[in-house]
Amino acid sequence: MKTNLFSLEGKVALVTGASRGLGQAMALGLAAAGADIAALDRAECNDTCAQVQALGRRYHNILCDLSSATPDDMQGYVAEVVQALGRLDILLNNAGIIRRAPIFEFSAADWNDVLQVNLTAVFYLSQAAAKQMAAQGGGKIINIASMLSFQGGVLVPSYTAAKSGVAGLTKALANELAAHHINVNAIAPGYMATDNTAPLRADPVRNKAILERIPAGRWGDPTDLQGVAVFLAAPASDYMNGAVVPVDGGWLCR
């Protein structure tokens, strides 16, 4: 029988977009379970750093704008994590952006920028991390999908395309990397109270319509993702490969 199913003691996690919101909450959840944290973000993560260190864990920050990062850059970020913290066991691909506009007004920049950050960067960072994990004997890659990995959404074609791609990429990577003892799975958050959803929550009509469809009757909080992130990073999920796990208050049930 396995013991310490949810312990991350001795593990190192790289979390993208960890300065606030979902990324910060999940990074703190991983740290509380025992992992040291490397945060990759275009902003300083001073608050995240302080909270991780208060939990007694090591912390390393990498300043990076994924909108312009190259595949070689991704290899360099992984090497930096290994140099700073000794290894890399967990990659949590959380960083993402969203652009909203009617279809006839949707620009090439709004298409390309979102695909670069939300999908292309996820692939190349996963590729770089998987090489390191394979050399170590295994690891965990956790992608952040979305309700729009299952649905079409409104006014967000590039975000929907990217998050649908993340769900497919999760399955494709799982197929190849399982042989290297690397588990690849995804979390699909529902409607969460973050900066990305601030315009929706500020719109009384949209806010009411969304809440009426969620059986739980509330917007999700970033801390609602901590448990599933720890589960997918820990030995408890060692036989999970290619799953996309909704954490949505029941949204998809309606």
Catalytic amino acids? 159
Q: Please, is 213 exposed, middle or buried when counting C-beta atoms within 10 Å of its C-beta (0-12, 13-18, 19+)?
A: middle
SS3 at position 80: helix
Q: Are 131 and 188 in contact (CB under 8 A)?
A: no
Tally of CB atoms within 10 A around 116: 17
How far apart are alpha carbons 43 and 71 in whole angstroms? 20
Residue keyed to tokens 């007004």: 105
Beta bridge partners of 14: 38, 91
